[in-house]
Structure 1
């Protein structure tokens, strides 16, 4: 079976959709499918070209996997306008690799949104090759998020984007997303319920697992075994509202052994560092994203894991960092309003503690509560690990996708 995977982000990017798209393509190739990938050069979450690549067209071959890279516009300062140019540049440059694909037979095309318009070329391909299955996988309801966060205010532009989305959804053979909230939103767009397939972000549960605190990892950041570590590990972007971590750290600066470790990269990192510096805090440590092979050791040193996002995106996004936290058996504090998918998931399975989004006071009070009552968190740790084993295992999820495609 010939599979074409089309996505803006791809391995070796360590966070976001690129990580999962890369693992998915590699998994299919390792299971004897012929897989081609069209993707941009690696640049996320730093918004900087990966030093091992050049910003040009290229082709890599690895057994059953062929990766076709495209140059893109990578803005230094991220604005809504420049992000549109960034995504449009990929649509434009990827056409170079797409043109010969229109004359080749693929059994399956998997496109990964965002960008939302990633489904346009596969839709055009399906007009000529009717038997090809287009799997439109949605990691982020981009246009809905942009509207809710007021990143796009033009009614004309929103109308154009929603019309394009409608065309893609109508013609896709399988439509997948990563959460029940996204599923409900998609079904409200009048898609055929029989087309829908739940494809949550997965985790390698045999690699990301509960471990004793790694002493060398503690020493790397100037921490000790006696510190109570509050960890945020992930992208630092505009969708999270991470300023409340700095405000919470200010509330808790009198507790000398409560330390905040913010590990990641993204467009808002410099602003976040400046905000922390303006408060002259000495209980926050900023670090860069670590290689994937060091992630279990990083997770091992945290007492509390933070999953922060704005209220407006609670049902439109499912934070991918949560899967690794659960697999590591971590105690998490999650910003999510009652009634949202994320809130319901956490409460149904007793996986962590939900607080109201945007409240630094609620965050600091909850951290202090867990600090004073950490011994009673063992049940949440066990529930988190068991949930990951039951529902988030990589092999199980990708095998289900394989069977759905074959069916």
Structure 2
């Protein structure tokens, strides 16, 4: 049954979603915020989204929004209220702070009109969480933040310049945004200790995993490889998504340097793309692809032999990459070069669709790639676990139903502005 035909449990409810990222962004948190808002709108709710200007993952303002300070759009039945903010092309603690401060200022100065029945926010950004808490307090309505990343931990673990000093400030902002919430959603259980450490009662924490927001591959795999110029017999290792500091993508450049017979492809954008291209200069087996359209995204993933998810060794409990849901959907095996005790490793183990190698170790990563390339049947069997895991646990229907239950609980409890 489609969303439009399904009875609307939130019909007539006025919902405000605060998310710095939103459509037309195709990766990261944006697709989840968009699909959630449009799902609730289709159920009969009156949904407004307070968001920023499209900029992720390139960290460049989308051309059509340059010079725009405020705008209101209707997307999928949702009133989308955009506010201008600073977009840093390079990430340092100071520039990130300016980014957050600009979101906070424009969001609080010009929120959408009217009183909502509940405020929902996606964190990050930190500013989005603080805006959500402030608006819920102002209107004396329940507040429901959803933690997608822990930014205090991110500042400490990601390697961002000046991150040590920023971690305490970020944690204080997270504490403010979460402490008075009616309930707090987390996308992975590995975030629970961090959220508890910020002063949130564990009885108020709910697990709401992300779902796969893409469709499975449909194109002929050989045809896609030919179109991309990937010859038969040459293993292709593909990383898709944000090219930022926490990903530690230098390990893939060094793997390419060690193995000229393996084609290493980085598809996407991010503030480290230029630095990675400079590091890879002269490597003929290293390729950089621009982000592709949504309708061909999983076809490109499925055309690779192996998909890579990488993180710095220091990244433990602050992030579970959203790319994993898309990787699993594609049906290709995943190699995770991540800390064994982190949430990303937990998710790859749980799926059965990949193997773990030590982070920041190009030789170990390359050994895993070559082992899979040498046994295509085993690689195919490993990759086939991904779609099965998605169907059982990460379907869009299941993910949105969990959010429906969470929102219904908040509205049923009617805790006003939450605990202060």
Q: Give TM-score scaled by structure 1 length.
A: 0.91
3-state SS of paired residue (1:311): coil
Q: Is contact 1:210-1:300 (8 Å) kept?
A: no
Counterparts of 2:218 and 2:316, CA distance in 1: 27
State the match for 1:83 in structure 2: 96
Q: Distance in 2 between matches of 1:163 and 1:341?
A: 23
Shift of 1:161: 3.7
* Secondary structure at 1:24 match in 2: helix
Unaligned 5+ runs, structure 2: 1-12, 410-420
> Does the CA contact (< 8 Å) of 2:19 and 2:121 recur in 1?
yes
C-alpha displacement of 1:314: 2.9
Q: Output the CA distance in 2 between the equivalents of 1:344 and 1:62.
A: 35
Moved more, 147-156 or 224-233: 147-156
CA shift, 1:64, in A, is: 3.2
Residue 105 of structure 2 corresponds to residue 92 of structure 1:
yes
- Segment drifting more, 370-379 vs 308-317: 370-379
The equivalent residue for 2:263 is 259
Change (3 A) 1:346 1:63: closer
Match of 1:213 in 2: 221
> After the TM superposition, which residues 6-405 of structure 1 pair with which residues of structure 2 at under 5 Å, given as runs?
6-54=18-66, 55-62=68-75, 64-98=77-111, 101=113, 104-130=114-140, 132-149=141-158, 151=160, 153=162, 158-204=167-213, 207-209=215-217, 212-215=220-223, 217-253=224-260, 255=261, 258-277=262-281, 280-405=282-407
Say which is worse superposed, 387-396 or 145-154, in terms of deviation: 145-154
Question: Displacement, 1:15?
Answer: 1.2
- Kept in 2, the 8 Å contact 1:116–1:143? The answer is no
Higher mean C-alpha deviation, range 30-39 or range 154-163: 154-163
Distance in structure 2 (CA, Å) of the matches to 1:117 and 1:372? 48
2-structure distance, mates of 1:388, 1:139: 19
Question: C-alpha deviations, 1:257-307, integer Å up to 9, x for none?
Answer: x31221111111111111111xx2111111101111111211121110000
Cα offset, 1:4, TM superposition:
0.5
Is the 2:158–2:245 Cα contact (8 Å) retained in structure 1?
Answer: no
Equivalents in 1 of 2:210, 2:126: separation in Å?
18
Question: CA 1:309–1:155 in structure 2 vs 1: closer, same or farther (change >3 Å)?
Answer: closer
1:4 aligned residue: 16
Please state how far the C-alpha of 1:157 moved relative to its aligned partner: 5.5
Quote how far apart the aligned CAs of 1:341 are.
Answer: 2.8
Deviation at 1:212, TM superposition (A): 4.2
Is the CA contact (8 Å cut-off) linking 1:221 and 1:285 kept in structure 2? no
Aligned partners of 2:213, 2:48: CA distance in 1, in Å? 23
Aligned residues: 396
TM-score of the pair, normalised by structure 2: 0.88
Distance of 2:169 and 2:302 partners within structure 1: 46
- CA displacement, residues 335-381 of structure 1 (integer Å, 9 cap, x when unaligned): 22333333233334422000010001111111111111222223322
Q: Distance in 1 between matches of 2:334 and 2:360?
A: 16
Q: Is the 8 A contact 2:18 2:121 kept in 1?
A: yes
Whole-Å Cα distance in 2 between the matches of residues 360 and 264 of structure 1?
21
Task: Find the aligned partners of 1:19 and 1:129 in 2 and give their Cα distance.
Answer: 27
Cα RMSD after superposing both structures: 2.1
Distance 2:41 2:64 in 1: 23
Provide closer, same or farther for how the CA distance between residues 6 and 382 of structure 1 changes in structure 2, counting only shifts above 3 A: same
Q: Distance in 2 between matches of 1:46 and 1:210?
A: 27
> What's the counterpart of residue 413 of structure 2?
none
Q: Structure 1, unaligned stretches of length 5 or more?
A: none
- Give distance in 1, aligned partners of 2:159 and 2:384: 39
Q: CA deviation at 1:147?
A: 1.7
